Chain A
């Protein structure tokens, strides 16, 4: 197990091993998403209060969960890169940020679309909505900081500190609906007594959550592989893989000094 993980930490082996995983990860994503969408949009009964409008939950809730999960993932991998100087951890953290920002944006937009017919407003400045918006700004700040610093190690260190500091927002988002009076309702699935949702409506939600999770790792690995190639573009293994030593990948964009 450790030997395998150790192998994954080496750029060359990471590139080779994960390349074989990606088609399978796409298959698994679809295996969760197709039944999840079918059960959620066709089979699940309409809600007693919200009718069919509640079905937007099957995108909104998993997207919001992912926005929190990816931020924690980013802070943890960033911290690992910071403490152990691990190149792969840096790449993982940097590659996950745009995916997390997309999920946050999706959660905010679907939330607004849901809020208009049900609450009567697109947006309110309550604690849940505001803290989720701050999460989007944290992601964007992280991406901007990465892009502003040329040297990859310095960029990774600065961004990791931002990610770690920003992670205090995560429990605030999660508990905002319990600590303060908010327009957003309280948690449904993680309630202690019993989930406040009928099983026929819960199953599609869990399937969609699994689909989004696998989708994240699929896209993450694809992004990480590209990022890896770019950072290692001068390394021997990259040049050997792309045929000969004179023609390198990215030779159109940058002159390689040999």
Chain B
């Protein structure tokens, strides 16, 4: 091998070696890299109890109940298969509404109520003018938010 070929081989080896190492590390940390749990995972008992975690889902239509005298709000998150009731006392983001993707951070109570201390809105990757959105809603061709529906390996 000429020196140049040797250098080329080294660079290739580095790229392959680092890629494999990264793949193994990420595969091992897969669970810790999940930003949120879905209601199905909570129903299956995969979510931790006793400490804070995040739950993500769609705010179910007609499930939002606000306390008239305070900021407290109670709503149901769903991923299509399971649901979890969330209680939150604080300021909601602008995008919070029924049917919206939401991530709540808090603790699961023993009775199954999720007590959130922060609520984040998750918007999807679709961008369109309001008129187009109205038209799509009328014909029922609005792209659905399916990201909360896939179950993680």
Interface size class of chain B, counting residues whose CB lies under 8 Å from the partner chain = 35 or more
The reply on A149 being an interface residue by CB < 8 A is no
- Complex Cα distance A190/B27, Å? 25
Residues 98-153 of B at the A interface (beta carbon under 8 Å) = 103, 118-134, 143, 147, 152
- Complex Cα distance A57/B127, Å? 11
Could you count the A-B residue pairs with CB atoms below 8 Å apart for me: how many are there? 118
Residues 56-100 of B at the A interface (beta carbon under 8 Å) = 56, 92-95
Q: Is the interface of B mostly helix, strand, loop or mixed?
A: mixed
The reply on B43 being an interface residue by CB < 8 A is no
Interface size class of chain A, counting residues whose CB lies under 8 Å from the partner chain = 35 or more
Complex: chain A residue closest to B26, CB-CB: A172
Residues of A within 8 A of B18 (CB): 165, 168
Q: Are A119 and B14 in contact (CB under 8 A)?
A: no
Residues of A within 8 A of B120 (CB): 119-121, 124, 183
Residues of A within 8 A of B132 (CB): 48, 198
**Cross-interface CB contact of B122 among A79, A83, A183, cutoff 8 Å:** A183
Q: How far is the CB of B1 from chain A (nearest CB, A)?
A: 13
Residues 146-200 of A at the B interface (beta carbon under 8 Å) = 161, 164-165, 167-168, 172, 180-183, 185-188, 191, 196-198, 200
Q: Are B127 and A196 in contact (CB under 8 A)?
A: yes
- Complex Cα distance A124/B95, Å? 17
Residues of A within 8 A of B124 (CB): 185-186, 196
Q: Are B35 and A182 in contact (CB under 8 A)?
A: yes
- Complex Cα distance A79/B130, Å? 48
The reply on A23 being an interface residue by CB < 8 A is no
**Cross-interface CB contact of B125 among A79, A126, A186, A201, cutoff 8 Å:** A186
Q: How far is the CB of B14 from chain A (nearest CB, A)?
A: 6
- Complex Cα distance A82/B6, Å? 11
**Cross-interface CB contact of B8 among A47, A83, A183, cutoff 8 Å:** A83
Complex: chain A residue closest to B15, CB-CB: A164
Q: Are B93 and A119 in contact (CB under 8 A)?
A: yes
The reply on A19 being an interface residue by CB < 8 A is no
- Complex Cα distance A120/B116, Å? 14
Complex: chain A residue closest to B90, CB-CB: A120
Q: How far is the CB of B55 from chain A (nearest CB, A)?
A: 10
Q: Are B35 and A124 in contact (CB under 8 A)?
A: yes
Q: Are A164 and B4 in contact (CB under 8 A)?
A: no
A-B complex: 5 closest residue pairs judged by Cβ atoms: A120-B93, A48-B133, A45-B129, A126-B35, A197-B127
